Structure 1
Amino acid sequence: MFSKLLVTVGWFPILAVFIWGVMNTWKHHAQDKYNEHIKYVVLAIDVPRQTEQSPKAVENFFTAMHGGKSTITKKERWWIGKFHPIYEFSLASFGGKVQFFIRVGDKWRDLVESALYAQYPDAQISVVEDYAKAMPLKWPNDDYGFFGSEFKLGKEEYRPIKCWSAFEHLATKELKDPLAIILEQLSYFKEGENFFIQILVQPMDSQSWQKEGEEYIESMFGREHKKKKGMLSETLGGFMEEFGTQTGLTIFGGGEHGEKEEDPWKFFKVTPLDKARSESIMRKTDQIGFWTKIRWCYWAKKEVYDHGPRISQIKAWSRLFTGSNELSMVDTVTTKGDYWWQRLWYHTRSRKISSAYFNRSVESGAEHYIMVPEELASLWHFPAIGVTAPLLSKASSRRTEPPSQLKTTRDEGLLPSGAVIPRPTAQEELVARPRTALEGGEGIVGEQINIPRPQAPTTVLRQEAPKPQVTSRESEIESNAQIENIIKEKLEGSQVPKLDIPSAPKAGVPDPIRLLIEKDVEMEDLGINPAPPEE
């Protein structure tokens, strides 16, 4: 009977797996074709040396990257191969010179630049050639050695790694930048050593992963969630349960079984560690998730190739982020060569990981995982003001904007619409100043050669307002004195009769004091008789 059932129904799972594999193969083929029509640009980012922004600014920047997500229909996904944008945030070291890069499709370039300028107004962004082209893709190579790997999350995706806020002092808010250790290490690379670290980020279709973290927290505090059964499991489960009831046998967990009782005191048994872990999970599930893959490559000339210390350095950096979750290297991807059987596929893995890095592949290699903006900003952000890596590329000047009320010639209506301002000729561009022979003129050293000043145009586009004369303080005083004299002469020459108006007595001032300070007051006016002179 079992053999008949296997022959009748057993082919169905095999056919389902085959159809699913064909559909995914076609989808990847369609996505490759769709990706060929996307023009990508690589942006080199230089941040001013005196920036005081914390990784919170980059966290906001990563959150804004979710704006590139759009609604994709089933036809667009399975037939056209459309997918959400894939951003690359990388850190590269060429012989010790460290540079931040962002690779993005030209369609989403404005989104990236505006979000970055919003957090770093003085940043300098420039389009450069793809830095990954410098890495060889064919291995073994006669001139270079190669080592590469990928990072994965060691535990469930809803558990966060140690984020940048944990490196901030609670009282002084001073940040002990976790990126400082890798920047210092990359700055000490020798000439001919190169290191690339790549973080691929892609918006997710849905945020259903957050429910897993919420259910874990609720189960930790004594509230269990019953998982919903699918149509197939409910059908098979009911069949097995009925079969067990009729025969008294238990097949695949069917039959009579009691439900697990909930512990009403579990809430009071929560330890401080469980509480801290649940808070960190809540912090992650409250944010937007991205599909993420972290890949790194070390390649150098064979004269200076030394992968042992370099691997230790990248491991030391990754250990800084060990918290509720951790970053660990993927053994199935890492180019190990410690044993003879590992050396058999060493160059094959080197070709796979270098090609996946160059193509920015999310599907190649280990499976991608979920990270939130706070985690991404902890791994990739611009260094704090206290990080002094010697060869880190930073902007040497600040970018300023022109005044908002600055008017152009066309705005002022001085030129008709469609008019073109002629460019000056080469002779007109020369500054009318004496030039010496050292500057390209003819004659003996020190001899001045006067170049004739170009003639001014006869048409005056704009008549400048007269500038106010700037006078000194002495001339201003003399002018005021002259004005007072003129007014005095006018008053003296007028026929207006003068009236003698006695000064009003000042209230509260004693008479002796009034006699001293007021000119028109005499002793007789105050009723004081002067003493007769002595004989």
Structure 2
Amino acid sequence: MLYTFADFAQQFGPTILTLGWLLVVWMIFWIAWKTYLVMKMVDFVSAIEWTFYEIKLPDETEETPKSMEVLYEYVGGIHKGPDFNEKYFDGYLEPWASFELYCTQQSVRYIIVVPTAHKRLFEGIIYGQYPKADIQETEDYTQRYSYKDLRKKYEMWGSDVILTNDDILPIKTYPQFEAKLAEEVPFVDPMQIIVEALTNVEAGEEFWIQVMVRPLDAAIIKDWEKRGEKEIAKISGQAKKEKPGMWENFKNFMLAVPGEILSILFRGPLDFEKEKEEKVLRFFNPVDEAKMKGILEKISGNGYKTKIRIIHIAPVGQLKKPNIARGFGVFKQFNAWHLNGFAPDAETRTNKPNFIFRDRRRLWREKNILLNFQWRDFFGTDSGQIMNAEELATLYHFPVKYVSSPSVQRAKAGRQAPPANLPYA
């Protein structure tokens, strides 16, 4: 007796329909929960209170970018992993801080934006590494501009700045900017190049740089380190082949059977000698050696999720293309092309796209990046790329004594001592 499709449908149809509806209901609940969680994250971020600090150092300060590197390591003190309710129902996001440059004509200000709940910790951290620092609370310099006035009272260009390669690979860091043959000025400060380039502008023109830093959970850092170790093993030829799973073995067997049968018929019995792995002495080229060394040095330290933005403001009709090129050009000094570097994010840069409602889409991007900058937006758990403290200290550090730029506002020597009741850093 033939078993028809009608018989199959009659026997199993109700079960399949029941499971199908359960799948649909599950998907509806999953989408509803994800939507709810995003809304809770928006509420959580909106409720964060920020404190704005302006940092000035005296001319005779002895601190180097190494002090800033240590400062970033202490930023890990604000990390708090979420509990079950915070992670799945409250929209909790781990805290972050923003390190910013506000550049106008012949003037630069070093601004740090921190959650008000951690302001005392940050004061202690800064004074711990920079005892002569002048730390003053200030206003948010970005609030002078409203997205409603875009293209009416001012014009702008902006972009997120992203790494060109996998974040296990390092950028060029401050030890590589040391001028070993120089006696009087043994360090070529990359920050001075940024300051000089972005303060040499016309009246009314401004540049903003934002480096947001979020400490990570130890498990995420460990996974990042393992990715680096796998890449080193791959480059060195020591990567272990992953054993195929049961399904993969079954699929390979079924695909191989016809060919093996034909081989037996025409060539005789198979020879099941085990293949012997030959050990080969391998010589690495300089690029491979540099990659392995760079990855190892980077993953040896703590990792921090990092998001970088740059914005250029100009009066209406005065936004110049050379200034746009200058704004991103200052990041090229950190590029090591065989390792890693920076590039403008194609998804956020405001001088794109070039086709299909171009002006409308560009205006939307301008509003979006301006608001994200003003909100210090680091939304989502996967946002940003991982950098270590040495890379962060290269990107953003307070001026060293070798910087003699008139744009840098210095503190008066001995202006004040750190408060006695600051937390230990």
* Bucket of the pairwise TM-score, normalised by the shorter protein: 0.7 to 0.9
Per mean C-alpha deviation after superposition, the further-off stretch among 347-356 and 387-396 is 387-396
Alignment pair present for 1:141 and 2:151: yes
1:278 and 2:292 are equivalent in the alignment:
yes
1:16 and 1:284, CA in 2 relative to 1: closer, same or farther beyond 3 A?
farther
Q: Aligned pair 1:336/2:351, yes or no?
A: yes
2:77 to 67, 75, 86: 67
RMSD across aligned positions (CA) = 3.3
TM-score (norm 2): 0.81
Distance in 1, Cα, partners of 2:93 & 2:353:
39
Post-superposition shift, 1:363? Answer: 3.2
Distance of 2:170 and 2:57 partners within structure 1: 28
Matched, 1:240 2:251: yes
Report the equivalent of 1:31.
Answer: 41
Amino acid at match of 2:333: L
Please give the secondary structure, in 1, of the residue aligned with 2:60: coil
Shift of 1:81: 1.9
Contact 1:30 1:80 (C-alpha < 8 Å) held by counterparts:
yes
Partner AA of 1:184 in structure 2: E
Specify which of 220, 225, 237 is matched with residue 235 of structure 2: 220
> Which residue of the other structure, out of 39, 44, 53, is the alignment partner of 2:54?
44
Q: CA 1:226/1:108 → structure 2, altered by over 3 Å: closer, same or farther?
A: farther
| Worse-matched range after superposition: 178-187 or 117-126 | 178-187
Question: What's the secondary structure of 2:392's corresponding residue?
Answer: helix
Question: What's the CA shift for 1:322?
Answer: 0.7
CA–CA distance in structure 2, aligned partners of residues 15 and 98 of structure 1:
56
Structure 1 position 105, deviation (Å): 0.8
Q: What pairs with 1:117-132 in structure 2 (closer than 5 Å)?
A: 117-132=127-142
Deviation at 1:243, TM superposition (A): 4.5
Identity over the aligned pairs, expressed in percent? 26
Deviation at 1:39, TM superposition (A): 2.0
Aligned to 1:158: 168
Alignment check: 8 A CA contact 2:104 2:199 kept: no
* Counterpart residue type for residue 336 of structure 1: N
CA distances 1:234-263 after superposition (whole Å, capped 9, x unpaired): 4643553465467779xxxxxxxxx99877
Q: Distance in 1 between matches of 2:258 and 2:29?
A: 37
- CA–CA separation in structure 2 for the residues paired with 1:133 and 1:237: 58
Which deviates more from structure 2 when the two are superposed, residues 154-163 or residues 333-342?
333-342
Deviation at 1:14, TM superposition (A): 8.6
Residue 57 to residue 72, structure 1, CA distance change in 2 (3 Å): same
Q: Deviations over 1:432-465 (max 9, x none)?
A: xxxxxxxxxxxxxxxxxxxxxxxxxxxxxxxxxx
For the 8 Å contact 1:97–1:186, the answer to whether it is kept is: no
Aligned residue number for residue 197 of structure 1: 209
Looking at structure 2, the residues matched to 348 and 310 of structure 1 have their Cα atoms a distance apart, in angstroms, of 21
Closer, same or farther in 2 for the Cα pair 1:348/1:278, shift >3 Å? same
CA distance in structure 2 between the aligned counterparts of 1:154 and 1:16, rounded to whole angstroms: 39
Q: Which sections of structure 2, spanning at least 5 residues, go unmatched?
A: 261-273, 421-425
- Pair 24,157 (structure 1): closer, same or farther in 2 beyond 3 Å: farther
Contact 1:204 1:291 in 2 (8 A): yes
Change beyond 3 A, Cα 1:346–1:282: same
Q: State the aligned residue count.
A: 385
Residue of 175, 190, 202 corresponding to 1:178: 190
- SS of residue paired to 2:212: strand
Q: Distance in 1 between matches of 2:276 and 2:83?
A: 44
Indicate the residue corresponding to 1:109 in structure 2: 119
Q: Write the deviation string for residues 62-105 of structure 1: whole angstroms up to 9, x where unpaired.
A: 01101111232121112122221111111012344210111111
Other-structure match for 1:368: 384
Asked whether the equivalents of residues 156 and 313 of structure 2 are also in contact (C-alpha less than 8 Å), the reply is yes
* Mapped partners of 2:242, 2:23: distance in 1: 24
Structure-1 residue corresponding to 2:325: 312
Q: Using the alignment, how far apart are the partners of 2:253 and 2:31 within structure 1?
A: 35
Deviation at 1:265, TM superposition (A): 2.3
- The 8 Å contact of residues 215 and 225 in structure 1, kept in 2 or not, is answered as no
Conserved 8 A contact 1:46-1:395 = yes
- The alpha carbon displacement at 1:21 in A equals 5.0
- 1:391 Cα deviation (Å)? 2.3
> Against the structure 1 CA distance between its residues 89 and 244, is the aligned structure 2 distance closer, same or farther, given a 3 Å change threshold?
same
Contact 2:134 2:416 in 1 (8 A): no
Between the aligned partners of 1:16 and 1:210, the Cα distance in structure 2 is 36
Tell me what 2:86 maps to. Answer: 76
Paired residue secondary structure (1:48): coil
**For 1:16 and 1:155, how far apart are their aligned partners in 2?**
38
Q: Which runs of structure 2 are paired with 1:245-256 in the superposition (5 Å)?
A: none
Q: Please show how residues 128-527 of structure 1 align to structure 2 within 5 Å.
A: 128-138=138-148, 140-170=150-180, 174-205=186-217, 206-207=220-221, 208-227=223-242, 234=245, 236-237=247-248, 240-241=251-252, 243-244=254-255, 264-265=279-280, 268-302=282-316, 305-323=318-336, 324-336=339-351, 339=354, 341=356, 342-363=358-379, 367-401=383-417
Question: Is 1:337–1:343's contact at 8 Å kept on the other side of the alignment?
Answer: no
Describe the superposition over 1:309-358 as per-residue Cα deviations: whole angstroms up to 9, x where unpaired. 21221232111011110100111211116845333411011111111111
Are the aligned partners of 1:31 and 1:80 in contact in 2 as well (CA < 8 Å)? yes
Unaligned runs of 5+ in 1: 250-258, 405-535
Could you report, residue by residue, the CA deviation over 1:262-295 in whole angstroms, capped at 9, with x for unpaired residues?
77325x3211221122111111000111111101
Alignment check: 8 A CA contact 2:60 2:401 kept: yes
- CA contact under 8 A between 1:292 and 1:371: conserved in structure 2? yes
> Tell me, what secondary structure is at the counterpart of 1:223?
coil
Instruction: Answer yes or no: is the 8 Å Cα contact 2:346–2:352 preserved in 1.
Output: no
User: Whole-Å Cα distance in 2 between the matches of residues 39 and 271 of structure 1?
Assistant: 51
Letter in 1 for 2:324: I
Render the CA deviation track for 1:102-126: whole Å, top value 9, x for unaligned: 1111111122111111111000111
* Residue identity matched to 1:46: K
SS of aligned partner of 2:158: strand
Partner Cα distance (1:358, 1:102) in 2: 13
Contact 2:131 2:417 in 1 (8 A): no
Work out whether residues 150 and 296 of structure 1, in 8 Å CA contact, stay in contact via their aligned partners in 2.
Answer: yes
Distance 1:80 1:339 in 2: 40
Residues 12 and 380 from structure 1, CA distance in 2 versus in 1: closer, same or farther, beyond 3 angstroms? Answer: farther
